[in-house]
Amino acid sequence: MKFVFTLSCLIIIHSFAVSQTVTPCNAPGQNPSTAFPVCGTSTFTQSSVPICGGNVVPSPTCNTYPLTDINPFWYKFTCFQSGTLGFKITPHTNSEDYDWQLFDVTGQSPGAVYTNVNLVVACNWSGESGTTGASSAGTNVFVCEGYGKPLWSKMPIITQGHEYLLLVSHFTQTQSGYDLSFGGGTAVITDSTPPRLRSAESSCGGNIIRIKLNKKMKCNSVAANGSDFFITPSGGVTITGVNAINCSTGFDTDSIELQLSGSLAPGNYTLNVKQGSDANTVLDYCDNAIPTTDQVNFTVFPLQPTPMDSMEVVKCKPSSLKLIFRKPILCSSVAANGSDFTLTGPYAVTITGASGNCSNGTASSKEIIINLSQPLYNAGNFTLTLQKGSDGNTVLDECTQQTPAGSALSFSVKDTVNADFSFQKNYGCTTDTVNFIHPGGNGITNWQWNLDEGQFSNVQNPQAFYKNFNTKNIALVVSNGFCTDSSFQTFTLDNYLKADFTAFDDLCPNEATSFTGTAQGKIVQHNWDFGDGGTSSQQSPTHIYSNPFTTTSYIIKYTVTDSFGCQKTAEKPVKVYSSCYLAVPTAFTPNNDGKNDFLAPLNAIKAENLNFKVFNRWGQLVFETTNWKYGWDGTVKGSPQPTGVYVWFLTYVDRDSKQARQMKGTAALIR
């Protein structure tokens, strides 16, 4: 969103804010939960932008006005190598205004971008139109709203293993599109893992094959008739259809179900890949295809209970646990109060609920989510045990086989980390030194500091040096290999010092002349040297120069000292004239001998808004000036004028009295 600061424009902004309502964005990609997956090596083209949005998004630094996602699209990606992120947004119409904001949503629900300011990594809300993004041309990670703000932000640092959402907000109320591309930074957001089949398994009845891919891939690359796959031996059973999980509301999937024409008998089979009726196999985000040589084995088992197989890797401060089963579990068999499970460990944490992941409309799920009464913040070893719940059973698989009570899984967590840090500023006259302190603890082994002014460090307590005395933006990411946390602080180095003063260039003798100090900084001492031996310690003193025999130049030196003991000096020349009596000569001799070569007012030191004109005997203007130091040389357009008497007129405003004055007379040109 854009803001300017004239009254008329503020009225326009207010009017817009009143009329702008939150319009739900229902098109895929226009809200965080349906964000487009992007490939770091490809350009993503958005040909049109539907009008919707208006949700307020938080900002750690831009707090003058609420920022909103206007006509938004959202993009998601994972960082595979830590570093700086560079990208650009190129409008199809260069006069249109796009904004953006980047969020780290690792371990968060997508909707948290609207409420959690700590997720914000970088932004640019400039009021200017044209190409925007993050690049080496940027100087600040956060660029706030307003005209005249740069379109390029400094490239933010992103962290390996973290997940990110990029909001592109279209402030201009049109449906014109843009291109989004990544590059210029050192971070890697492209998964280099070749696309493959990870696993396959059959349903209890042997009439459905469930495929797990090794990463998320494009929904629109899956042939709807299942022709991307075939089974050997087939036993006369064919693939008749496909269900790509979550593709009805999203753009990517890592799970595919194949419907078969009949049931496979118990035994061993191979699932193979081929080009489907859409002329490709399944493609990843960068359009890399699963090779047609890829295959995976699976077994159709006789009916037997499904064991409590494994647990998804536990992440930092988990508030829930995810169980993974070899076969889908009936969601209806999972006690909603979590009483099918008990958790034991070094400190008390109770289970408050459990559910199968049947949100996609299916009756069964290979995942069960177990909710805890509080996150597991502290390190320890825990055991999750299955028991008969309040519904009279443990859990049942899709073939209604009950997993035996007493099945158990063990896991460990490490301490949560905190990236909060402090700092000590040590001011200097040319360079400030700042010591940064992080307390460490909780097994932290990695520190990543962005100290501004191009300074980075990976030590616990770094020291930084600054030559620019202004606001600094500091970021820290810490990790113990299990938990990661980030912190951002802004502080100002306020020892900027500049010496400057104002004074008239030309001065009169024996008159009090004012000098005005205009220095900036925390000034505690003023020292003036007027060049003639006179001095002063006032901020804006007066000084009297004695009558010199001839015009004399002096160098004024003004030195200021601040509260830190630092000094800066400003120097300017002044001229003191032997007289301030304003007169115009009655004759001049323009023969270039250095004496009386010009006709001009003399000693017009206090004449402001001066105008001096010379006319010949026929009343023709032959010379005019507003600078009394620049006189007539007796020529017109380079041609010497004849000897004779010329008339002059002089008007000016007296500097002391502010009264307008006029003078006139004649002067003889003598050759």
Identify the band that residue 497 occupies on the pLDDT scale cut at 50, 70 and 90: very high
CB within 8 Å of 216: residues ≥ 6 apart = 37, 252, 253, 254, 284, 285
pLDDT single digits (tens) 356-405:
988 766 788 989 999 999 999 999 999 999 999 999 999 999 888 999 99
d(CA 80, CA 133): 21
Q: Is residue 190 part of a domain?
A: no
Identify the band that residue 11 occupies on the pLDDT scale cut at 50, 70 and 90: very low
Q: Is residue 452 part of a domain?
A: yes
Token match 């006709």: residue?
A: 599
d(CA 403, CA 394): 6
Q: Report the greatest alpha carbon distance in the chain.
A: 129
- pLDDT given at position 304: 83
User: Do both 36 and 174 map to the same domain?
Assistant: yes
User: Do both 294 and 332 map to the same domain?
Assistant: no
Query: DSSP state, 114?
Result: G
Q: Is residue 191 part of a domain?
A: no
d(CA 98, CA 76): 18
DSSP notation for 453-503: TT-EE-SSS-EEEESS-SEEEEEEEEE-SS-EEEEEEEEE-----B--EE-
Range 473-478 average pLDDT: 96
Contact 616, 640 (CB under 8 A): no
Using alpha carbons, select from 143, 82, 78, 81 the residue that is nearest to residue 104.
78
Identify the band that residue 13 occupies on the pLDDT scale cut at 50, 70 and 90: very low
SS3 296: strand
d(CA 403, CA 330): 11
Listed residues 437, 465, 492: the one ending a domain: 492
Using alpha carbons, select from 668, 670, 514, 663 the residue that is nearest to residue 602.
663
User: Do both 326 and 382 map to the same domain?
Assistant: yes
The continuous run of DSSP H or E covering 10 comes out as helix 7-19
428-463 b/e (C-beta count within 10 Å ≥ 16 → b): beeebebebebeeebebeebbbbbbeebebeebbbe
d(CA 517, CA 82): 51
d(CA 448, CA 156): 13
User: What CA–CA distances, in Å, run from 643 to 136, 624, 634, 639?
Assistant: 69, 19, 9, 13
| Residue type (1 letter), 119 | L
pLDDT single digits (tens) 618-643:
999 999 999 999 999 999 999 999 99
User: Do both 175 and 255 map to the same domain?
Assistant: no
d(CA 102, CA 110): 12
Contact 124, 146 (CB under 8 A): no
Range 10-20 average pLDDT: 33
Domain of residue 440, CATH code? 2.60.40.10
| Residue type (1 letter), 281 | T
Mean pLDDT of the chain: 91
User: Residue 292: is its pLDDT beyond 90?
Assistant: yes
User: Do both 478 and 523 map to the same domain?
Assistant: no
Identify the band that residue 66 occupies on the pLDDT scale cut at 50, 70 and 90: confident
Range 483-500 average pLDDT: 93
Listed residues 156, 182, 208: the one ending a domain: 182
The total number of residues shown for the chain amounts to 671
User: Residue 536: is its pLDDT beyond 90?
Assistant: yes
pLDDT single digits (tens) 239-286:
999 999 888 888 999 999 999 999 999 999 999 999 999 999 999 999
pLDDT single digits (tens) 172-198:
888 889 999 999 999 999 998 999 999
Q: Is residue 192 part of a domain?
A: no
Domain of residue 217, CATH code? 2.60.40.1220
Contact 511, 546 (CB under 8 A): no
CB within 8 Å of 12: residues ≥ 6 apart = none
The tally of CA atoms less than 13 A away on the side-chain side of residue 50 is 13
Q: Is residue 2 part of a domain?
A: no
Domain of residue 634, CATH code? 2.60.40
User: Residue 293: is its pLDDT beyond 50?
Assistant: yes
Listed residues 492, 518, 537: the one ending a domain: 492
- pLDDT given at position 18: 33
User: Do both 404 and 476 map to the same domain?
Assistant: no
User: Do both 264 and 359 map to the same domain?
Assistant: no
Domain count, the chain: 6
| Tokens describing residue 333 | 């068999």
**What percent of the chain is predicted at pLDDT more than 70?**
97
Q: Is residue 333 part of a domain?
A: yes
pLDDT single digits (tens) 309-364:
899 999 899 999 999 998 889 999 999 999 999 999 999 999 999 999 887 667 88
User: Do both 270 and 400 map to the same domain?
Assistant: no
Q: Is residue 41 part of a domain?
A: yes
Domain that holds residue 350: 310-413
Omega cis (within 30) before 233: yes
d(CA 140, CA 118): 18
User: Do both 608 and 628 map to the same domain?
Assistant: yes
- Long-range Cβ contact pairs of 347-355 (< 8 A, separation 24 or more): 347/378, 347/380, 349/373, 349/374, 349/376, 349/382, 355/331
Q: Is residue 408 part of a domain?
A: yes
User: Do both 518 and 628 map to the same domain?
Assistant: no
- pLDDT given at position 248: 83
User: Do both 102 and 248 map to the same domain?
Assistant: no
User: Do both 168 and 57 map to the same domain?
Assistant: yes
